[in-house]
Amino acid sequence: MSRNAVQLITYADRLAGDLPGLARLMRTEPWSSAFAGVHILPFFTPHDGADAGFDPVDHTAVDPRLGTWQDVRAVAGDGDLMVDVIVNHVSADSEAFRDWCARGDASESAGMFLTMSSVFPRGATEDDLTRIYRPRPGLPFTPYTVAGRRRLVWTTFTPQQIDIDVTHPRARAYLESILDSVADAGATMVRLDAVGYAVKTAGETSFMTRDTFAFIEDFTAQARSRGLEVLVEVHSYYRRQIEIGAAVDRVYDFALPPLILHALGTGDGGPLARWLDVRPANAVTVLDTHDGIGVIDVGADQTAAEAPGLLAPHEIDALVERMHAASGDTSRLATGTAASNLDLYQVNCTFYDALGADDHAYLAARALQFFTPGIPQVYYVGALAGRNDVELLRRSGVGRDINRHRYTPEEIAADLDRPVVRALFALCALRSRLSAFDGDFSWSLEDGIMTMLWRAGEDHARLTVDLLGHRAGLAWSEAGAEGATDDLLADPPRV
């Protein structure tokens, strides 16, 4: 997988209608020049369940409304392909869970699903229960009737998402069947969704424990044996991200988005600079995803509050308020306890609106992302500099839907004509093509000016950003040819 290649993150249906439509889109300009890979968000059966595909009834089947495995292979044939592997849970409507609810211990799936008593066979104290780390209010249990008996089933996220015992033979076989399916479809990388919560250990936080790391190591080996790289998806304390990065192929840099927003909002690049000093280089960089903009990743350790974060509490509070104000308070409608949103550690907002729909600030943010070491990914709404979809939010009542717009072909065509989108696609093409990005990285910060430099032999790429003024300039060379621009919006880079 190329470090130069910018990848697109998208739902198949919300951008291109279905999988064949996505394959066609990725072969056409300007998409084919801008993006060398794609992360297709869950396309399994069903793709539109309780959590937008992250609660699969059958994780090895493509939702027929979107296409087939052959259609997935067609997308993979044009570049790198990332696919989600949801390791922590399955849908309450899955055949295995329904069978266990009906037959209990007589079910072949008995033991596959976690309950309070299976983790705490001798009972749990108040201290045991309050020690469990969960990014949502309340305890992670939902009552279900199993063979006529009420049981407290472990549900980390929603009552529809049933946690599995990843150490159970049947659960292991299930997870390995998913790897077989996605590897056969031509995927090059799998994203381990919610893996930080996958192992429950009595008396511990049950989040990113030693047992979790052991599971990640084992599952990564299983994936690699099938030719798959592994990306770990965990929102957590920044030092834990560094620890994860040392153990896996790739880890998300979830600290980058709030640090860039802080830098562009205040002119203070110090926290971003300190992160550049210590962050894992084997990262996938993002500014936006299908979830909200995380702030937990720059805060104090949620399991040991005495460990400070990359931003102080008052800086995080100010950052969140700036995002709300920049979006005209539309993000406030979708965040916190609003709109059935349970992810209290995220602000639901498009990244473009989080910067007040300021084209120069947005392009400066993307340039900072693209010059930061790692594989850059751009969410489909962000690729089109999308605004908060308040109408969809009001219809669904789901906070994260504010950043999950369903595009029509006419909307896409209109957005591709906007100067900020044309400039972003040009920036993507530059990041994907220049050989300098395979070289050595350095940076400096002086008087509110952040400079990032890549150099490989005679080739180079230099970014200069005035953090408070939101102006970004580029200079580069490639095989003897040179280029430069002092205004990404008015004069997009051409390579």
Residue 386 CB coordination number (10 Å): 22
What do you get for the CA distance between the two ends of the chain, in Å? Answer: 21
Tell me, yes or no, if 193 is annotated catalytic.
yes
CB 341 within 8 A of CB 335: yes
Place of tokens 């996505």: 22
Structure tokens at 105: 């211990």
**Residue 433 CA to its chain's centroid (Å):** 24
- Is the omega angle on the peptide bond into residue 140 within 30 degrees of 0, that is, cis? no
Contacts 24+ apart (CB under 8 A), 70-75: 71/18, 71/19, 71/20, 71/23, 72/19, 72/40, 72/43, 72/185, 72/186, 72/187, 73/185, 73/186, 74/19, 74/20, 74/23, 75/19, 75/22, 75/23, 75/26, 75/38, 75/40
- Reading the block at residue 19, the tokens are 């999988």
Q: Rounded distance, CA 376 to CA 54, Å?
A: 23
For residues 128 and 122, is the Cβ–Cβ distance under 8 A?
Answer: no
Q: Which of 193, 291, 315, 478 is catalytic?
A: 193
Neighbouring CB atoms inside 10 A of 415's CB total 16
Whether 482 sits among the annotated catalytic residues: the reply is: no
CA distances from 176 to 165, 183, 225, 226, 441 (A): 14, 11, 11, 10, 38
Tokens of 183: 């590897």
Task: Determine the Cα–Cα distance for residues 461 and 455; give it in Å rounded to an integer.
Answer: 7
The single residue of 55, 80, 163, 233 carrying the catalytic annotation is 233
Inter-CA distances, 431 with 253, 339, 477, 480, 481, Å:
18, 37, 12, 17, 16
Pick from 154, 266, 132, 140: which is nearest to 205 by CA?
Answer: 132
Burial class (CB within 10 angstroms; exposed 0-12, middle 13-18, buried 19+) of 71: buried
Catalytic (active-site) positions: 193, 233
